[in-house]
Amino acid sequence: MTRRVLLVDDDAAVREALSQTLELNDLEAVTAGSFVAAKDLITPEFDGVILSDIRMPGRDGFHLLTYAHEIDAELPVILLTGEGDIPMAVRAMSEGAFDFLEKPCAPGDLLSVLERARKTRALVLENRRLKRQLEAGDPAARMLFGTSPQAEQLRTRVRAVAPTGAEVLVTGPAGSGVSKVAEVIHLMSPRAQGAFVKRPAAGMTIEAFDALCQDAAGGSLFLDEIPAMADAVQYAVLERLEQGVAARVIAGTTSDLAQLATSGAFNADLFYRLDGMRVRIPSLAERPEDIPVLFRHYVAQAAEQAGIAAPEISQEHLAMLMAQDWPGNARSLMSAAMRFVLGMPEEVSVGSGLGLAEQMAQVERSLLIAALGRQNGRASAAAAALKLPRKTFYDKLARYGIRPEDYRRASDA
C-alpha cells in the first residue's frame, strides 16, 4: 500500500507539525507551500494521496482539487478546513473531495482518514495494473510460465475454472505462487473489470469479511492461507457463502486442507464448499524442465529492477539449477535469479544427502527432460541437440523412466 502523502499548506508551521505526525506513523510526507509548488508533483504516475488546506493565497484547495482530478479522476484529495469553513468543505465533497478535516485535527482522526484514502488508492492502482494485464492478452499464457505438461495442465485448469463464478480453492506448496494463480483466475473471469482484493485470513473477523466483500463487489476476494481463519469465522463465512455474497471468493493455502478438514482442524463443510473448484499448483520438483524458462524470466526481471544488463546464462548453470530440490519453489528461484544478476555466489543444494553418482544422474535426467521440452517431445530431435546416438538417448530415457510423449504439446501430438 502506498505510503506517500502530498501535504499542501501555506503555513510552514502547520506543514512541519503534520509532516512529523505522518513520519512518526511510517508515512512519507512530500510537502508544498502552494498550488504552484504542488501541481508539478501531481503526475499520472503519482501513487499517493493528497492532503491540502482549502484557504491558501492565490489558487486555493478547490483549484488543487480540480487540477488533481484532471490528472487522475480517482486520486483521493483530503481537504483541511479552518473554523467556519464547513460550508466550503461540504461544497468540496460535492465536487469530489475524498473527505475533509477541521483544523486543528486530532492525529487519530487524520490517520484514520488517510488510511481509508490510502486503501482506496492502492485498490485503484492494483485494478489498473490488472486491467492492463487483461488487455495485453491471455493472462494464463502470459503469467503462468512453463512448457511442461504440468504447467499446461495448470493453465488448462485455470481456464476451465475462471469463467464459472463459483468459489475456488487454490493449493500449492510454499512459494509456488498461490496468490498469483488466484489473480489470473480473476483476470480470466467475467468479473475481471471488478476489484481484486487480497487479504490474509489470519485474524479476520466476520465484520471484516463482510466489509471486504463489499470492497470487492462485482470482483473477487482472495483469502490467503484460509486455514488460519478462526473457527467461528469459518462457520460464519460458510453461512454468508450459502446466502450469497457480492464478491467471488477465492481461497488459498499451502496446507493440506482435506487432511485438516478430516482431522477437525478446519470446517469440513466450508472445505467441501471451496473444494468444488480446486486448482493445484505443481512444485518445481515435479516439473524441473520449467526451471530454465522461469529462471530466464526472473533474471530479466531482476536485471530490470537493478538497472543493469542481464548476464548470459550457460546451459551448465541451468542444468545445475534443474538438479536442485527448490523447497521454496518459485520464490526461492526468484531469489536465486537476483543473486545471479548481482554476481553473488549460489548455494547449491543438488540432491541433498546423495552421493556424486546420484547427483550426476539428477543433472543428466534434467538435461534430457530439458531437451525434450525444447523439441516438443520429439526424441530424435532431442538426441541430435544433445549430440547423442539415438540408441544411447533411448537407453537413458528408459533408465530414468522418461516418456517423450509427456513433453509433446497438444499442437504437435
| Grid cell for residue 103 | 483544523
2, 48 in Cβ contact below 8 A? yes
293 and 212 inside one domain: no
CATH code assigned at 401: 1.10.10
Q: Are residues 9 and 59 in the same domain?
A: yes
**Residue at 140 is within a domain:** no
Classify residue 75: in a domain, yes or no: yes
pLDDT, tens digit, 9 for 90 and up, residues 140-159: 777 788 878 899 899 999 99
Give yes or no for residue 129 having a pLDDT over 80.
no
pLDDT tier for residue 199 given thresholds of 50, 70 and 90: very high
Closest CA to 77 of 43, 113, 112, 29: 113
- Where does the pLDDT of residue 284 fall: very low under 50, low under 70, confident under 90, or very high at 90 and above? very high
Q: Given a cut of 60, is residue 348 above it in pLDDT? A: no
pLDDT-based confidence at 360, cuts 50/70/90? low
Tell me the whole-structure pTM to 2 decimals.
Answer: 0.61
Residue 206 CA from chain centroid, whole number: 24
Q: What is the CATH number of the domain that holds 52?
A: 3.40.50.2300
Peptide bond into 44 cis (omega under 30): no
Task: Report helix angle 291-306 to 315-322, nearest 10.
Answer: 110
Say if CB 295 and CB 346 are below 8 A apart: no
Please tell me whether residues 119 and 161 are part of one structural domain: no
* The total number of structural domains that make up the chain: 4
User: How confident is the model at residue 345, as a pLDDT?
Assistant: 61
Mean confidence (pLDDT) of the chain: 86
| Cα 402 off chain centre by | 34
In a domain, 399, yes or no: yes
**Same domain, yes or no: 167 and 269:** yes
Structural domain containing residue 234: 147-282
Q: What is the pLDDT of residues 66-89, one digit of tens each?
A: 999 999 999 999 998 876 666 776
DSSP for 160-213, please give it: HHGGG-S-EEEE--TTS-HHHHHHHHHHTSTTTTS-EEEEESTT--HHHHHHHH
Would you call 9 helix, strand, or coil by DSSP?
coil
Whether 64 and 82 map to the same domain: the answer is yes
Is residue 137 assigned to a domain? no
- Residue 114 in domain: yes
What is the pLDDT at residue 248?
96
